[in-house]
């Protein structure tokens, strides 16, 4: 389990906004969470490799604090 810095959390929020998929979908669908985590690690965190579980936990914490950007579910 990697330690999250304020910088990591800011990058996670930015990545979440760019990924443009609601947190419910990311957290419910394992493949989406794994893709989200892989992209985050490659783009923002090459030195700290966060696991999908680390990322899911942090997304939940940010969402519960009301600081996760709102993304509307896309129409199909």
Average pLDDT by consecutive 10-residue portion of the chain (76 residues)? Answer: 86 95 95 96 85 97 94 64
Give the pLDDT score at 54.
Answer: 96
Query: Number of structural domains, the chain?
Result: 1
DSSP 72: P
Q: Is residue 50 part of a domain?
A: yes
Residue 10 lies in a domain: yes
Helix, strand, coil % over all residues of the chain, rounded to 5: 65, 0, 35
Encode pLDDT of 53-68 as tens digits: 999 999 999 999 999 9
Residue 9's pLDDT is: 94
Domain region containing 20: 6-64
**Within a domain: 71:** no
Interacting residues of 32 by C-beta distance below 8 A, sequence separation 6+: 21, 25, 26
Residue 43 domain-assigned? yes
What pTM was estimated for this model as a whole? 0.86
Domain presence at residue 1: no
């Amino acid at each position: 389990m990697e330690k999250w810095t304020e910088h990591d959390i800011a990058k996670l929020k930015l990545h979440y906004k760019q990924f443009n998929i609601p947190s419910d979908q990311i957290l419910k669908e394992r493949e989406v969470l794994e893709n989200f985590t892989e992209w985050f690690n490659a783009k923002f965190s090459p030195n700290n490799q966060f696991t999908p579980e680390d990322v899911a936990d942090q997304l939940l914490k940010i969402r519960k604090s009301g600081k996760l950007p709102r993304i509307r579910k896309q129409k199909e």
